[in-house]
Chains A and B, each alone.
Chain A
Amino acid sequence: MRKFTNLLKKEVKELITFQLIVSLVFTIGMFYFIGNIVQSEVQKAEEKRDIHVFNLDNSQESKALLDGLSYAGFKVNLLEKKDKAEAIEYAKNSNISLLIVIPEGFSEAASKFQFKEIEAYSFIRSFSMTSSANAAIVDQVISEINKLLSNNFLKTNFPDFNPEDIKNPIKSRDFVVVKDIMAEGSAAEVSNIVYSQSIFIPVILMMIIVFSSQMVLSAMAMEKQDKTLETLLTVPISRNQIVIAKMAASALVGLISAGIYMLGFRYYMGGFMGNIQESGQLNELMQKLGLQFTSGDYVVLGISIFLAILCALGLTIILGVMVEDLKSAQTMILPLIFLVMIPYFISLFSDINSLSLPVKILIMLIPFSHPFIASQNILLGNYAVVFYGILYMLAVFIILIFICGRIFSTDRVLTMKLRFGKKGFAKNS
């Protein structure tokens, strides 16, 4: 055990280089910076319901209409200008992004059901997220005005009826059914919450696998490039322990690196997604439907992810035997990245269960597919699929370790190379 610890410490020391620390610090700083900028833009876009109005009508009705807009959450700023041209010129020179012009005689025409056009001027000064949000505000304002006018009209002509009942005579109640559980609520909202909660899992997994595998490959490549592997293979420690120490160190450093990257990524995504918080009602709905992770679920998910990492590391060790230097290590990681990318993208944009059987079998044969689909299957109570996935990954890992052990216990560890453009494997003479 002492020899193994000695080797493990060396492997970790070799992996945690100054360059790695600088790269991690830089990345987290960059994610944090971009995330903050995006978040402030999103907040600005959300808060920006500031409108400027030049009211040429000046009737009691149009004033009531503007009060209605204020009531609906818009901050209405009235412009006192000589004419429309002056108002537009003023808006152009000020930092006004939206100007609404209510034409003269608007209320009078409306009372006769002869509506005049309201003019909306959007001032584009950039193409940022805030700027694009102004377009939506125009629609919201017009929609609110339409609503106020139509409600007034209906109230006047049908005083005994609720205007909303006339406009939307059919009401609906939404129910969501998950397996045997049914609860009242919106399916779209439930899907959005589950998606927002589980979107990070494939990203985390993808990062950990790629990081750890890159670490193992680099470690193997460095051993060969720096001509230290031969010496290491002659010291009195079993070859299996050498393999395990390399895997353990890489997994450890990979986990730490991925954790730090994820922290930065969270800042970054937090900027885009804003504060996705479940309302009390929605939370209750999720609980009723059983769409929340229990501690046991987290353990099962953790085991699934951990086994996927181990499979990746086992595969990487085999690939690592074939690398000659750091340059070839960068090429050698590609097959593994593709194997991770396939289930990653499918889990993000599609449902593996909805694929045709041959494609589904192919996807399921990739060990990394299982943790990608595990979180949703756990939520849906399909534990059998998750457990079969865990057993499959365990079997793959055992086979990979067996192959690694075989390779390391023979001279293939020194002689095996993959020569691109030639016939498969070649021995070094």
Chain B
Amino acid sequence: MDILDNIILRANNLRKNYGKFEALKGVSFEVKKGEIFALIGPNGAGKTTTLRIVATLLTPTDGSVEFMGFDLRKNPDKIRQGITYLPEEAGAYKNLTGLDYLKFMANFYAEKPQDVDMYIERAIKIVGFKDRLKDKVGTYSKGMTRKLLLARALMTKPKLAILDEPTSGLDVINSLEIREVIRGFVEEGVSVLLSSHNMLEIDFLSDRVAIIDKGHILEIGEPKALKEKYSADNLEEVFRRLVQ
């Protein structure tokens, strides 16, 4: 990690090709410690591809990612120790109970058995449905599953939580709860890299945003500064002006 500027993640000139299709055309950004950095843009802009690269799932065609001093290509295992990833369409193992699922995931990050208990306790506070944790995940509603997965991503207090559309498909109440949970963990030192096509949500949640479209980052900055720069009431307007 760059101590001087407090940068935890640095993505430099990322390119990703799927055959002849260029999903990313040179994406660069940085995430600082304890901030929520959001990638916003329409569907197919390259948000998920970027997050998947940072989460060590995809190898970039070109460019580099450095997380806490570790290079993505050389040390993916080291990077995985410091991150958690919540995919947009993630699911949990349906045959496991919610509690078993959390224990299963906690065991990958725990250094000692007591850590597992601590993680589970934290997760229970996030999900808010302790009484249903002994039921199989297959019986959960979409909102419950999403909360369980978010709890899984945050319970270990990772250095960087990568959240792809964290409130995707959730109702207003559940979305608000999840936003509050994310904000709470950031206050405790967790950095968050998230993506959303819901620009109003990002406006409320993030410290800095990168507006991405067709594999290019068009602008990076704090929501307030961007709105001022483009004389816009919200980020949607900023985006519209940028792509026009």
Residues of A that sit less than 8 Å from B by CB: 2-3, 6, 10, 13-14, 17, 226-228, 230-231, 233-238, 410-411, 414-415, 427-429
Contacts and interface: CB of A to CB of B under 8 A. Distances in A.
Interface in B46-81: 52, 55-59, 77, 80-81
26 contacts: A6-B104, A14-B96, A226-B92, A226-B93, A227-B91, A228-B91, A228-B93, A230-B87, A231-B87, A231-B90, A231-B105, A231-B149, A233-B56, A234-B55, A234-B57, A234-B84, A234-B85, A235-B105, A237-B108, A410-B59, A411-B52, A414-B57, A427-B18, A427-B19, A429-B18, A429-B21
Of the candidates B52, B57, B100, the one having the most CB atoms from chain A within 10 angstroms of its own CB is B57
A3 B19 contact: no
B95 interface: yes
Interface in B79-130: 80-81, 83-87, 89-96, 100, 104-105, 107-109
Given A230-B57, A234-B57, A429-B23, A415 B18 contact: yes
A415 B56 CA distance: 14
Contacts of A236: 77, 80-81, 108-109
A2 B56 CA distance: 22
A131 to B, nearest CB: 50
Contacts of A10: 93, 96, 104
A238 B76 CA distance: 9
Contacts of A13: 95-96, 100
Of the candidates A2, A231, A410, A414, the one having the most CB atoms from chain B within 10 angstroms of its own CB is A231
Interface in B122-161: 149, 152
A228 B222 CA distance: 33
A226 B91 CA distance: 5
Contacts of A2: 107
Interface residues of B, number: 34
Contacts, number: 78
Contacts of B95: 13-14, 17
A414 B18 CA distance: 12
A233 B57 contact: yes
Contacts of A415: 18
Nearest to B78: A236
A427 B85 CA distance: 23
Interface of B: 18-19, 21, 23, 52, 55-59, 77, 80-81, 83-87, 89-96, 100, 104-105, 107-109, 149, 152
B107 A228 contact: no
Contacts of B84: 234
B19 A411 contact: no
- 7 interchain residue pairs of minimum CB distance: A429-B18, A227-B91, A6-B107, A226-B91, A234-B85, A411-B58, A235-B108
Given A3-B107, A236-B109, A230 B59 contact: no
A415 B23 CA distance: 14
Contacts of A410: 59
A6 B96 CA distance: 13
Nearest to A428: B18
Of the candidates B81, B90, B149, the one having the most CB atoms from chain A within 10 angstroms of its own CB is B90
Given A13-B96, A226-B93, A238-B77, A231 B85 contact: yes
B152 to A, nearest CB: 8
Nearest to B21: A429
Nearest to A233: B57
Nearest to B16: A411
A87 B59 CA distance: 91
A226 B108 contact: no
Nearest to B55: A234
Contacts of B86: 231
Given A14-B93, A429-B18, A411 B108 contact: no
Contacts of B80: 234-237
A6 B58 contact: no
B161 to A, nearest CB: 11
Given A13-B96, A226-B93, A411 B87 contact: no
A428 B21 CA distance: 11
B92 A228 contact: yes
Given A6-B108, A227-B90, A234 B21 contact: no
Contact of A227 (B23, B57, B83, B89): B89
Contacts of A231: 85-87, 90, 105, 149, 152
Contacts of A411: 52, 57-59
B74 to A, nearest CB: 13
A13 B97 CA distance: 11
A401 B8 CA distance: 35
A375 B110 CA distance: 48
Contacts of B19: 427, 429
Contacts of B104: 6, 10
B108 A3 contact: yes
